[in-house]
Amino acid sequence: MPSSKDLLVEIGTEELPPTSLDRLRTALETIFCDRLKSAGFGFAGATSYATPRRLAVMVKNLSERAQDRETKHRGPAVHLAWDQDGKPTKALLGFAKSCGVTDLSSLRTMKTDSGEWVAYHSTVPGDSLSNQLEPLLKESLAKLPIERRMRWGRNRNEFVRPVKWLLAIHGRTPIPVRLFGLTAGQTSHGHRLMSPGPFKLASAKDYVKACWQHYVIAEVGERKEVIRSQLEKILSPKAEVVIDEQLLDDVTALVEWPVVLAGKFDEKFLELPKEVLISAMKKHQRYFHLRAVGSDALLPGFITVANIETDDESLIIAGNERVIRPRLADAAFFFAQDSKLTLHSRVEKLKQVLFQSELGTYHEKAERIAMLAAWLAEEAAEKSSEKDAAGGASARDAAYRVGLLCKADLVSDMVAEFPDLQGFMGACYARKDGEPEAVAQAIGEHYMPVQAGGELPETPLGAWVALADKFDTLVGLFGINQPPTGSRDPYALRRQARGIIRICIEKNLDLDLLKCLQQAADGYDKGFDLNKVHHYILERLSNWYAEQGILADVIVAVQKGAQRSTNLRTMNRLVRTLHDFRQEPIAQQIIAANKRVANILDKEATGDMVEVDQSSLKEEAEIILHRKLENSRQGLHRSEEVAAQLAILAALQPDIDSFFDKVLVMTNDETVKQNRLALLQQVRSLFLEVADFSLLQ
């Protein structure tokens, strides 16, 4: 049996993009391990590493040689392999030659459902790791999720960043694979400043320890926890650091040897909205902000994570304070300048900002959002008590006002400098202009949710405008045939669709999806086909349910039922109740019976619904079933709760079972047969009023 040792592969590069570092790390591990398995190499697991200057993967107990493969070749049928005299035919001789067989006795007989065949079994020896590693790595690296590959030097090598060194070592033995114009050895590199120059690894197992000795924390999770630990230790009892997990991931990807330092800025900048200060520190400088213990009040300080350890930390702190000062001064200037104009006065300037070349400007989009939001508010207000939305204004008028103003901050100086503040700055400026608080809050909420699982708008007004914005974008982009692809989604249509789903369901909005899409399409007046966008939203709905453990067959069963609804709230109630119901023992009987009924009706190609002739009902079981069907239908129509409807259908199951046990549907008497088929049509029709149970597994 071939021996096994740890394999380490490391690719040293120029600084890798921090936002994709962890994705590249996990992809390298997954893809490379899949390639090894496919090639027949056995191993006990893998660990991947990443820093700004390296990607590495350690495969545990990797065999030196791939497993031998058993191959089977099927030849001619046995009766065609030998002639009447027992001599091999040309077909058999040709097959043997193609397999390299000279001794026909080594051939075997293979028995299948279609007969007996001549077969040749052979064993292909597994190749060595030293021969296979280079092509396996090339295949793996070619599959990494890299949007734009770089070239460098005079060759045509491509990677996310120029490659500086290459390491491949199996146990203590280097494997000289050649990639990117480099030959792999057993040499790596430490921290660029604290441990410049190469160092040699004695074995793959020494990697993490050797990196530490050269001021590199190679393991991403460990480096992250080192930063977190330092953040929690650096502050006084009066201040606490706000640890944003995304920011923590970002700075983890920027450093190899983290050192946490605290700096300050002028207190006068605390007059700015705190979100502006946080954005300036977080987005532009990747600083953690501070707040007073037990309060949301910001403190005039920040935490930065340096990538070097030094005897004089004051120089690094002073440098960071020097950088943040003009950034905050710019923010203060932009805020002062923006405050000179009202938000409403900026709406006209949106005519100069293009939303999409075929769909017009943001001014046109704002007008469409305003009209659609007003319609949504009116639809919702008719079914609820939402008559007054903002300062005495009607819900419709308030929604129109928010829709018109919601994109106006895009032409402000502040949003031009801090794009992540769009929406928030609109709300801030609306308050300064004296707009009703409900209007200002809704402007700030209309982008929600900004990420999967993110917060939803708190107010009905915010929900209506958020929906209007998302419907407008989806209908427009699908209308001009620009749906998202596997790798590109520049308008975040996946997030927009999920946002619509979550707002409608989680905010319990009684809205018809098709009517909303049509209303959005009317705003464009381009005759857009809505089938694709409608299907896309339902597809995202299925994905959303799948993440919650609800299987696709439940969703399809609901959509195929007579109650199938384009109202997401109603559909959600049906889906969740049916999902719970299928766990009950009676559900499997109902599913089986519905499949049986559906199969019979499909085979008989029954057309339109036919009335049952009671005088032709002969057997007691069919008479009882017919009577119970009528009672169940009345009960079903009286009940509005899905759970109660399912209980009514479940109560009918014993009578359906009795019918199939005691009644022959496909009798020779054509009149009786057709009458019983009509009875089964009524059974199926009754169940379809809730869902198509025959589609459930």
Region for 86 from its dihedrals, namely left if φ exceeds 0, alpha if ψ lies in -120 to 50, beta otherwise:
left
Would the pLDDT of 75 be above 50?
yes
- Per-residue pLDDT of 243-273, as tens digits, reads 999 999 999 999 999 999 999 999 999 999 9
CATH architecture of 4-66+128-213: 2-Layer Sandwich (3.30)
Q: What is the pLDDT of residue 492?
A: 92
Decide if 215 contacts 206 (C-beta within 8 A): no
Q: Which CATH class is domain 350-549?
A: mainly alpha
Question: Residue type at 344?
Answer: H
Confidence tier at 564 by pLDDT (50, 70, 90): low
Q: Looking at residue 184, what is its pLDDT?
A: 96
The answer, yes or no, to whether residue 519 has pLDDT greater than 80, is yes
Q: Give the mean pLDDT of 2-22.
A: 90
Q: Give me the DSSP letters along 164-231.
A: EEEEEEETTEE---EETTEE-BSEEE--TTTS-SEEE-SSGGGHHHHHHHTT----HHHHHHHHHHHH
Percentage above 70 pLDDT, the chain:
96
Level-2 CATH architecture, domain 584-695: Orthogonal Bundle (1.10)
CA distance 679 to 655: 13
- Cα separation values, 223 from 20, 259, 315, Å: 17, 11, 24
**Where residue 563 falls among pLDDT bands split at 50, 70, 90?**
low
Cα–Cα distance measured from residue 504 to residue 513, given in angstroms and rounded to the nearest whole number: 9
Residue 238 has a pLDDT of: 85
Give residue 389's pLDDT.
55
- Whole-number Å distance between alpha carbons of 262 and 244: 16
pLDDT at 475 over 50: yes
- Is 528 within 8 Å of 472 (Cβ atoms)? no
Least confident of 47-51, 112-116, 334-338: 112-116
Amino acid in position 135: P
Least confident of 43-47, 324-328, 384-388, 586-590: 384-388
Tokens representing residue 108 in the block: 């075997």
Q: How far is CA 375 from CA 219, 513, 523, 568, in A?
A: 53, 13, 11, 18
Give the span between the Cα atoms of 17 and 23, in whole angstroms: 11
Query: Residue 583's pLDDT is what?
Result: 81
Arithmetic mean of pLDDT over the chain: 89
pTM of the model: 0.78
Closest CA to 444 of 405, 416, 393, 413: 405
How distant is the alpha carbon of residue 340 from its chain centre?
42
Q: How confident is the model at residue 626 (pLDDT cuts 50, 70, 90)?
A: confident
User: What is residue 594's predicted lDDT score, i.e. its pLDDT?
Assistant: 79
The domain ranges of the chain are 4-66+128-213, 69-123, 220-338, 350-549, 584-695
pLDDT of residue 2: 52
What would the two tokens of residue 334 be?
Answer: 């932009």
pLDDT digits 0-9 by tens, 177-188? 999 999 999 999
Residue-wise DSSP of 309-370:
--S-HHHHHHHHHHHHHHHHHHHHHHHHHHTTS-HHHHGGGGGGSEEETTTEEHHHHHHHHH
Judged by phi (left if over 0) then psi (alpha if -120 to 50, else beta), residue 343 lies in: alpha
**Using 50, 70 and 90 to split pLDDT, how confident is the model at 388?**
low
> What would the two tokens of residue 674 be?
């057709």
What does the pLDDT read at residue 391? 46
Q: What is the DSSP letter of 529?
A: -
Residue 377: enclosing H or E segment and its boundaries? helix 362-382
**pLDDT (tens digit per residue) in 638-684:** 777 778 878 888 888 888 888 888 878 888 888 888 888 888 888 88
Q: Report the share of the chain in percent with pLDDT over 90.
A: 59
- pLDDT value, residue 48: 97
pLDDT digits (tens, 9 = 90+) for 395-452: 899 999 999 999 999 999 999 999 999 999 999 999 999 999 999 999 999 999 998 8
When pLDDT is averaged across residues 606-631 and rounded to a whole number, the result is: 78
Q: What does the pLDDT read at residue 1?
A: 42
Band the pLDDT of 606: cuts 50, 70, 90.
low
CA 69/CA 549 separation, integer angstroms: 38
Which has more confidence, 341 or 690? 341
Q: What is the pLDDT of residue 392?
A: 47
pLDDT at 566: 83
pLDDT at 102: 79
pLDDT digits over 281-335, tens only? 998 899 999 999 888 899 999 999 999 999 899 999 999 999 999 999 999 999 9
Separate counts of helices (H) and strands (E) for the chain: 27, 22
For residue 150, list its beta bridge partners: 159
Q: What's the rounded mean pLDDT across residues 127-151?
A: 92
